[in-house]
Amino acid sequence: MDSGDQEYNSSKGQLLVSEPSLADPNFRCTVVLVTEHDEKGAFGLTINRPGGQTVADLWEGLTGDPCVSSTPVFIGGPVEQAAVFILHNREDLRDGSEPIIDDLYMGSSLELLQALIEDEVSAIWEGQQIYRVFCGYSGWGAGQLDGELAAGGWVIQPATAEYIFQTDSPELWRNSMDRQGGIYRFFSGMPTDPDVN
């Protein structure tokens, strides 16, 4: 990392909580974990949108091999929805994974996913291993996220592995609004679907 990177006001390792007024339907009532943010752009995973498939469905589609994992697959964002990313807490599997924050790593290899699935099924790490799988990601070009932050489209909150993994994902946006306090507590009670009023 050069000295220019150190001066950049990066949001890496932070949560972006969408403001209720954010008009983009891809990000309405979302919480995004920023995994990369520099002068070239930003990359993140929407962590509160489970999709309609399980890890078993995904694994069988990728490899043709059977799998029994009922872990849901999340929609990481609107970009490259065939790309697979994995957030996990396993320090012993950090090779090939990038540390994001304490006790949280991101990887994308089939070998990593296979190791997590095998350990989930065998219950070797029962109660200790936590992971989430995502298809797609949220991406911003150079200066784009900075502009959205300056315009007030997002609230920035600190991320912890515990908060990401232990908070019920469909309720994560509401919990984050409530956690922000003030007027945001009012928004935590609003429906996440604008057609439900």
| Residue 71's CATH number | 3.40.1740.10
Q: What is the mean pLDDT of residues 139-149?
A: 94
- Structural domain span for residue 164: 12-185
Residue 162 has pLDDT above 50, yes or no: yes
- Whether residue 148 is contained in a domain is answered as yes
- Whether residue 100 is contained in a domain is answered as yes
C-alpha separations of 85 from 39, 76, 173, 190, 194 in Å:
23, 8, 21, 30, 29
Residue 151 has pLDDT above 80, yes or no: yes
Best CA proximity match to 88, nearest among 79, 80, 98, 77 = 98
Strands (E), 111-150: 131-140
- Whether residue 190 is contained in a domain is answered as no
CA 99/CA 89 separation, integer angstroms: 10
Question: What global pTM score does this model have?
Answer: 0.87
Higher pLDDT, 159 or 22: 159
- Whether residue 29 is contained in a domain is answered as yes
Query: Which residues have a Cβ under 8 Å from the Cβ of 66 and sit 6 or more positions away?
Result: 56, 60
- Whether residue 115 is contained in a domain is answered as yes
Residue 102 has pLDDT above 70, yes or no: yes
- Model confidence at 96, pLDDT cuts 50, 70, 90, reads confident
The number of folded domains in the chain is 1
Q: Which of 44-53, 55-64, 69-78, 112-121 has the lowest mean pLDDT?
A: 112-121
- Whether residue 123 is contained in a domain is answered as yes
- Whether residue 105 is contained in a domain is answered as yes
Q: What is the mean pLDDT of residues 39-65?
A: 94
Q: Which of 89-93, 125-129, 162-166, 176-180 has the lowest mean pLDDT?
A: 125-129
**Residue 100 CB-half CA count within 13 A:** 30
- Whether residue 113 is contained in a domain is answered as yes
Q: What is the mean pLDDT of residues 24-49?
A: 94
